Each structure stands twice: as C-alpha cells, then as structure tokens.
Structure 1
Amino acid sequence: MNMLRFNGFKCLLVLSILCYLTHPVLSDCRDATFDVNFDYFPDKVFFDNDIGTSNSGFNVTYHNNYVILTNKHTSETYVLYCTATQPAVAAATNYIQIPVTNVVVSDRSFISFLEILGEEKTSLKYVDDKNTITSPCLQKYNYLYDNFNYANTSLVSSVDVIFTNKPSNTGGKYVTISYDEDTPALQKAEWIKYMSLFFNKTAIANEAFDKIRSNYFCHLDNLSKVPNETKKSIAWVSLESDNSFTIKSSSFYPNVTSDAAAFLLNPQITTDLSVDDLKQYISGAYIVIDMSDLVAEYSTLDAWKNLFGYNQTSDLPRFLKEKLLFRTHKLLNSNGFDDWSESSASRPDLILQDLIAIQYPSYQKDYVVNWFNKFAETGDEIVISADRCNDATFGLPKTDFGTCVPTKFLGDGRNNSGIQIIDVGKNGGNDNHNKDGDSINNDKKENKVKPGVIIAVSLVGSLLLLGLGALLLAVLRRKYRERFVKLRDEPVVQMDSVKEVKEVKV
C-alpha cells in the first residue's frame, strides 16, 4: 500500500513537470496557433500605495496577449503585443511588438534602468553620445552600441523602440519616459517597471524596485527620531545660462532632503536671483549643493567663488569655512561627464544615503559617498573607467542592492550652527548600523583595557572553565552508565526496534 502511494505521488509529480514544460510561454505567442485564452503575461506590474509611490506616472492594463500602457503625463498610449500580427485596439495609434531587442536611449539616465534589467548588453544599440557614458562595462564594450542619427529615417525604422524624455510628434517608435526635477525620488525609480514591460521583465523590475524601496524606507525610518532642533539646512543651488541663480525647490529636492532628516532652504523667491540675493538667502545654510552645469574652466573652487560672489577671503559663510560645499561630480568618466546624471534616477536609496553621510558620517562609518564630492577640497573626484567593469554581471539582471539594518539614530546633537545642544550619546545612539550591519565604534581608546585586568579576568575564566569541565565529565560518565544498564536490561525491545526500521527501509 505504501508502495502504491509512493508511485502515485511520483506520477503526479511527473505530470506536473510535463504540464509546466508544455504550458505556453511568451515566445509561443508569436506562433499562428497561439492560445487566445492563455495569459501570456503572468507577471504583472504592481504598485505600492504608500508615501512616495502612490502617484505613479503611468497606467497598465493587461489582456491575454497584449498590454495597454499609458503615460499619464503625456496622455500617450502604447499597445505592447506579443502576437505575430498586431491586435486591433480602439483609439490606439502606437503599436510595439515585444520583447524588444533593438533599443535607442536619448537620455542616458535610462541606461541604469537597462542595466538593472540586464538589457544593456544585448538590447542597447544606440545612444545620443558615447563620450558621455559613465557605466564601466559600457565603456569597456563600447563597440556594442553606437551614436544614433535621428535624421536617418531608415535607421529609425530599423529599431524597435526609441526611449525619449520628450513626446515626439512622429509617434511610432518613440516612447516617452516622464520624470524630471518635479518627480519625487522613489517615483523616478518606479519607471523601471514601465521600461520592463518592453522586455517582458516585469518580475525582475518588481523585485528590484521593492529592494530599493525597502532600503530607502529603512534609512528614512532610522533617522525619523532626529530632533528638529538639530536638523541641518541644505540649499541646492544652480547658476543658469542667463547668469541668474536658482535655489532648487522642485518636488525632488524637498522630498529627498526631508527624508534625509534635513530642512530644505526654500525662500519665497527661488528663481531669477541676483548674486547678492543668492548670497543673502544661503548664508545660513549648513550644506550647499551646487547643481550648475559648469564648463571645465569654471569647475575649480576659485572660479566658483568668483561666479557666486565669494571672491573676498574675509567673512565667508560657514559652509565654505567648514568645507561643506558639494557638487554631484564625485564619479566622472575620462571626458568629465558625471555619473549622477546617468545613475541616480534608478537608485534613490543611494541618494538618500549620500545625503545622510555628508551630514552624519557616523551613521554608516564605512559608507563611501557615491555622487556628492567635496568641492571645497581638491582630489575628491574619482574617474571611473572600463577597469571597473564587473564582467560576471554584465548583461544580467542586477540583484545586489545592499541592505539596511533597522536601528535608532538621533543625529549628532548639534544645531545648524554646529553648536552642541543635545547629548545624543555615542554615535548618535546608533548601536548597530553601517552598510555591512557591523556595530559602529569610532572611539577605540575607550575599548582599551589595562593589562592587569586582562590577566585577572583570564585566570578567573580559566578556573571557571576547569570547574565546569570536571562537572560536565562527571555528569556524562553517570549518564553513560545509566544508558548502558538500559540497553543490557532490554535486549528484546532494542532488537525489535532495529528490525522495524529495516523493514521500513526495504
């Protein structure tokens, strides 16, 4: 009877495997005999209706063999179909057969999304300018893609899709991805789900975004107890092409600044500022982050001081005295193009950690800032080249997004002027948190113990161990004798038990 049950189980297992191996997949959708009643998109985009991600910029509607994708910002609709011939969808004008394998990106910030999906090796064929690329692997394998000529109509017609950041009147191959400075950080990253639909890699996008989002909220929660009176003020500024100045206040900036337990410096007037107005507004900022697109000759600190009206060495603001002026140019390629513009949109968790690190280095003592370079210090930039390419993960979906250990961090207890007003304890009360989950301990002197104490503790410990060892040996010997008696007194029971086991095995 047991044998019959076992064989029945094996049959069911074999049948299940056969059913799985023979069920339709996306590639079957292009066959003339595809199953119209089968769902070829079992992995669905899902949205997290919480803070930061409740207002997704796109809608997705699933049908068995096609997906209707709508960009809510531009009201553009795309029908993504897997069949050999395109379906007839009312009022639809843009049809794209998926999965796509011949892709153009007109904005290099889309490249990091392709890298997470694992499509940068096989699907990326054209970019705007190869010289701007900072990705180490795409620098190493730059023969796999080329610059795109948008005026070449035959070239346009030969590609599957052109990802762009602005709507195109020509439609067809052009697909708009709509995020900018008015898009909060997590909502930017969520566009990976939108892009994943074109490659049928929704499950990968969902998992990646969930990990990034989880890390983001973990760090946000860890700093949620920083007292308001010790939060720092951060000003994001920019020199515009008309020589006016802007203090950044679009949705992205208050979003990430607040989540990093800081206050955004946001005066009533933030645009078309004169140099004197700017200096007045940012004079009390704890940290200033310059987002200006400066040409090489103005990319030195002295040149910056002249442009921003700080050419006098006396009476400098605190952020210059304390070297708390930053730019997003820590990672550059050999041509001087920054990685922030290419990679930050897909990794809000790293943006948040960077902002925390430049305020509170003790929060993660081993954390290396990715994008914010100390502009007031020379030599803080890093040139990223092909040597840093990880060939083992090139062209594969990325799964390692780091981890975050929940903890309580109270900041440094200093107010915006750098004055200690609250005793928050060692390392801001952060007892177990760096990027590897190790405990933080910067004060090694407190851990030093006198030699005499070490010797005394060692002697006491040795005596205790000897005593415990003797006691344990005595207990074991007694147990052994008791066990021997039981085995000797009950030979029939023991042999019957062995016999039963053997019968079961046969």
Structure 2
Amino acid sequence: MLGSFASLAGALGLFMAASVNAQEPCGGTVYNGTGTFTVKNYGTEYTVLTMFGANNNPGSEDYLLYCGDIPAPQGQAILDMGVSSNVKKFKVPVTSVLVSGTFTSSYVELAGGQKNIRVLENPQNIVSPCLQEEFKNTSIVPLNSAIFNQYLTVDVGFRENKDPGQIKDVWVPMSIEVAPLLRAQYINAVSLFFNSGSQALITYNTIIGTYNQLKIDMSGIPNENKMRIGWVKYDFGNKTWKLRNTEFTRGIITDAGGIPFPLVGDGVTSEPDISPTDFKILMTNADIIIDQTEFPADGKGNYTSLFGRWRALAGFTGTDFIPRVLDLHKVYSLDNTVNQIGISDYQYRMPSRPDLLLRDVIAVQYPEYNKGYRTRFLNGNFQYGGAPDFTLGPANCTTTPMQYNSGDITTSNPNPLFTGLPTPPPPVVGGGIYGIGGPTQGDGTSGSGKSKTTSVVIAVVCVAAVLGAAFAFAFYKWSRRAKEDRFIELEEEMNNEIPLS
C-alpha cells in the first residue's frame, strides 16, 4: 500500500513538474471555433490552423504556423501533419501585416497587431483614430492590387476573399447571414499569427460572456411587453424598401428582448422587398426602426435634410397619418460613430463586437436597463437632423485608447429582475405578415399575405356556393310542400261546396 502511494506521489510530482515547465503551443492557447476553424498542435513548435467558410463561403484552407528559431518544416514532416506539401506556412509572431477587407482590421486590433499593419485596403474608410494617424504619417500605405511587391514587404495578408494562389493570404470569411456570435470566433484564429492566443481568448470570452449575460437578462421580459423592431433599408436601384431579415439581424433583435419583423409567416427571404402597403403596416406596428439605407454621397453631409428624404421615401410627408414610431422619434440609423469623411464604423467593428450592437439595441428599447449608456452604432440624432455623436480623426489617437476596438470591452452585471417596460406596446393592427396575419388590403405583393388573401377569397366563394345550394334546395322543398298543401285545401273545399249526387 505504501509502495502504491509512493508511486502515485511520484507520478503526481512528475505531472506537476511537467505542468510547471510546459510551454504554450505555437500561437498561444487557442479556442476551436464551432464550424469556423480548427486547430491542431504538434508540440510547442508547430500548429495547423484550418479555416472554414461560413454560410455562403464554402470550402476551407490550411495554414501551418511555426515558432521560435526553428526553420519551416519540409517534406515528410508536413505530410505527417496531414496537410498538403504546399500548405501556406507562416513564422509567428508576424511583424508586418496587409489587410484586404476593412472589417478584418478589427480582428487584427483585438489580436494586438494594430501596430503591425503596413498595407491597408481603403484606409480612408477606417474609423480607428490611431490607424488614421498611421496612414497620415505614411506608416500605412493603401493596398494596390496592381503593385505585386506590396506582398513582398509583409509577413501575412488577411483577406475576406480566398485567394489560393497568394501564398501569404489568410482567408477570414465574410458573411452577413450568420448568427451574431459566429464571426467573433475569428478573434482567436487571427490571434494565432501574433502568438497572442492566450490573451485573445480572454478578450473573446469577455465579449461572449457579456453578450450572453445581456441575452439572459432580456429573456425575462414577458412576450406581451417586448417591443417590435423593424430593420429596413431603401434600395435606390430598385426603388423599393427591403426588410433586413438575416440570421444576424433576427438574432440581435431577439437576444435584445425585441420581436423582429415579419411578425407572422414562414419562408420569408433574408432581404425581401416590402410593398408600399406592407411598409405602412410595418411602420404602424413598429416600436423601433433601425435603418440601414446607404444614401448617395451627395446627401450625407446635410444631416438636416437627410431624415426628410428618408420620410419621403417612406411615404410619410404629410400630417394626415404619422406612425407612432415617427411621433416618438424611434428611428435610428447605423452611423453614430464616423470618421472625418462620414464613414461609419458599423461594418468595420460589428463582426468582432456583437456585444456593442446588442447593448445599443437594448438601450434604445429599455433605457432604464443601463442608465447613462451612449450607443456606439445606433444614431438617434438621425431623426432630428443632427450629426453623429462621435466623429474621430487622427488627432483623437491621443485621447482614444490605442487599441480602439478593444478599448471598451466591459462585463455586464446580471439583472434577473428586469422585465422591460412597465406597460406593453399597443396591440398589432393590419393584415399580412407585418400585421396580425390576416389578409392585407391593397396591392398585397412581396409577401404581404397575398396568398392568404387568395385562399380566403376562395374559401368565401366556396362557402357561399354551398350555402346558396342549400338555400335553393330548401326553397325548392318548401315551395313544393306549399303547393301540395294548397292542393289538399282546394280539394277539401270542393268536396264541401259541391255535393255528390
């Protein structure tokens, strides 16, 4: 027994010693994304990262990371890892970065690699003030696909479109129709190239933990107290309103304790057209409107007239009928933080920071939940003709944290007693999928319940036909019985008045 205990103690000692002396794998401690990427470690020197396309981006791509002073693996060593001999190889941590697809910069920032960006696509579109400063002092140059030697000056290029032919490209798939938390997983994948996987995992867990806590708090709101939110945009090309009905927009609204449109019906596409009749029904029933219209550049600088133009497109220019959502000033654009030329950071930060958008959608519905919170993306000044709250330029680099996208990562304290508004919103009115589900009066196009209207009409006709036939048959039986009774009466009268001889 004593010998067994000694053996166990010796084994534990060796385990503890190994744990103390253990080194992190190449790239740092990692998190395997669910359906977005996988990681396989080979000791502490080699890591194979496989990135998968999300939703509309099928396929996958492998990357081999090697650390320290060792040379890049070759030949059989690569094949033993189960990847192709021409796999893309990167010595990490990388020190110079190219970014194609502006939104991928947000992942680089969260991974701690902002200072390593040397080439950037459309740097004038960046809202991050320190990236603007670096572009101003020429530390960052614009990406020019015609200048091939730009790739010679960097260690890695992060792109939203896969390019198997470019050996320095790492594919960060872009998809707008995925669940809100899915794209945040790329924080961990990108961090491996900077050998900051351990710190990135803490950042990621804080973002996800905050999001899920907010979601839990909002789940306690009774259904009758939840607010109805329409996420819309105007398509100038087709001259029609569209509903933003992606998995992302529906997920954010639902997680924020709201009810997304359409209110009823299945099989609605991710971005259906909304007929004028249906749009009025939607506006009548909406408690909040989030507008994602991309206005032409000629009108973006004049905030005073911008909302007037929006109202004209929506068909509410007079005073005969003003929807409650307009009367209460509950229409928000997505440009509350912009750079000096008016570019919003919504598309830039949103993929990696869904927690900020969730906070925003909660705040405009239930301001009592987090008093004093100032929205990052949702712009309430839009409906008043005012400018966005935050305009950032290179000079703001000294007042804004260097890690712009990680400077406002906070936790959320649980509030399980929150039940939303003290009184529920008004009941739903109107027909079709944007109302109570019945037939819509009017054009009834673009998923407005036209099929339901048709079925109702057919049903009414069928019922009328059946009732008509039944009535005709009853009338026939009644008239025949009446004739027979009258014949008997006449016969009796004749028998009484004319005596038989």
**Per-residue deviation, residues 410-443 of structure 1 (Å, max 9, x unmatched):** 1113323399xxxxxxxxxxxxxxxxxxxxxxxx
Other-structure match for 2:89: 95
**Per-residue deviation, residues 197-223 of structure 1 (Å, max 9, x unmatched):** 111110011000111111112212222
From the CA coordinates, give the structure whose radius of gyration is larger: 2
Give, in whole Å, the separation in 1 of the partners of 2:424 and 2:230: 16
SS, match of residue 351 in structure 2: helix
Letter in structure 1 aligned against 2:127: T
Q: Is contact 1:150-1:156 (8 Å) kept?
A: no
Question: What displacement does 1:189 show?
Answer: 1.4
Judging changes above 3 Å, is the alpha-carbon distance between structure 1 residues 390 and 192 closer, same or farther for their aligned structure 2 residues? Answer: farther
**Does 2:349 align with 1:371?**
no
SS, match of residue 381 in structure 1: coil
TM-score, L = length of structure 2: 0.70
Other-structure match for 2:41: 62
Judging changes above 3 Å, is the alpha-carbon distance between structure 1 residues 150 and 218 closer, same or farther for their aligned structure 2 residues? Answer: same
Other-structure match for 2:72: 85
**Equivalent residues in 2 for 1:346-495, closer than 5 Å:** 346-374=352-380, 375-382=382-389, 383-390=391-398, 393-394=401-402, 398=406, 401-407=409-415, 408-417=417-426
Question: What displacement does 1:409 show?
Answer: 0.7
Other-structure match for 2:242: 246
Judging changes above 3 Å, is the alpha-carbon distance between structure 1 residues 391 and 202 closer, same or farther for their aligned structure 2 residues? Answer: farther
Unaligned runs of 5+ in 1: 1-15, 26-38, 48-52, 420-506
Other-structure match for 2:451: none
Letter in structure 2 aligned against 1:306: A
Choose 133-142 or 143-152, whichever is displaced more.
133-142
Give, in whole Å, the separation in 2 of the partners of 1:395 and 1:213: 19
**Per-residue deviation, residues 20-53 of structure 1 (Å, max 9, x unmatched):** 8xx797xxxxxxxxxxxxx643832125xxxxx7
Question: What displacement does 1:149 show?
Answer: 0.9
Q: Is contact 2:157-2:169 (8 Å) kept?
A: yes
Judging changes above 3 Å, is the alpha-carbon distance between structure 1 residues 131 and 392 closer, same or farther for their aligned structure 2 residues? Answer: closer
Give, in whole Å, the separation in 2 of the partners of 1:386 and 1:259: 35
Question: What displacement does 1:138 show?
Answer: 1.7
**Does 2:196 align with 1:201?**
yes
SS, match of residue 204 in structure 1: helix
**Per-residue deviation, residues 126-170 of structure 1 (Å, max 9, x unmatched):** 111121111122223322211011121222233222211111242
Unaligned runs of 5+ in 2: 1-15, 54-58, 301-305, 429-501
Give, in whole Å, the separation in 1 of the partners of 2:345 and 2:27: 35
Letter in structure 1 aligned against 2:131: L
The Cα RMSD (Å) is 2.8
Letter in structure 2 aligned against 1:98: V
Q: Is contact 1:119-1:395 (8 Å) kept?
A: no
Give, in whole Å, the separation in 1 of the partners of 2:257 and 2:154: 45
Choose 279-288 or 265-274, whichever is displaced more.
265-274
TM-score, L = length of structure 1: 0.69
Q: Is contact 1:104-1:161 (8 Å) kept?
A: yes
Judging changes above 3 Å, is the alpha-carbon distance between structure 1 residues 190 and 392 closer, same or farther for their aligned structure 2 residues? Answer: same
Give, in whole Å, the separation in 2 of the partners of 1:119 and 1:44: 17
**Equivalent residues in 2 for 1:89-488, closer than 5 Å:** 89-90=78-79, 91-92=83-84, 93-121=87-115, 123-142=116-135, 143=137, 144-240=139-235, 241-266=237-262, 268=265, 269=268, 270-299=271-300, 300-374=306-380, 375-382=382-389, 383-390=391-398, 393-394=401-402, 398=406, 401-407=409-415, 408-417=417-426
Q: How many percent of aligned residue pairs carry the same amino acid?
A: 27
**Equivalent residues in 2 for 1:11-22, closer than 5 Å:** none
SS, match of residue 302 in structure 1: helix
Choose 103-112 or 351-360, whichever is displaced more.
103-112
